[in-house]
Amino acid sequence: MPYYCASKLPEDDSFEHIIHNISPGVCKNLPPPELRIDLGAHNGCAAALSKAKEKFSVQTKVNACLECCKHCCTSEQDSDEDPDADVE
């Protein structure tokens, strides 16, 4: 069963706390251990995301890592897209 954490600090650009799968070799974007909130083992990222939302206040944004929890990530940006590109 995968093990998850949430970042204690929000992302600079989105102000979201991001959840990660911390199983060995799964994610390259993990926060350092001292900046992680333990979410425990879950069957999938949706359960871990729910647990993270319980740990933060209602106003706090929580999202999933695009690399290790792609199915739960609600980011509007795709990793291949340039967020600064003009849209016609």
Domain ranges of the chain: 3-72
pLDDT string in tens for the chain (88-residue length) = 999 999 999 998 889 999 999 999 999 999 999 999 999 999 999 999 999 999 998 889 999 999 999 999 997 544 444 333 333 3
| Whole-prediction pTM | 0.81
**CA-to-CA separations, 57 to 6, 40, 60, 63, 84, in angstroms, rounded:** 14, 19, 5, 14, 31
pLDDT at 57: 87
Task: List b or e across 21-43, with b for residues whose CB sees 16 or more CB atoms inside 10 angstroms.
Answer: bbeeeebeebbeeeebbebeebe
pLDDT at 81: 40
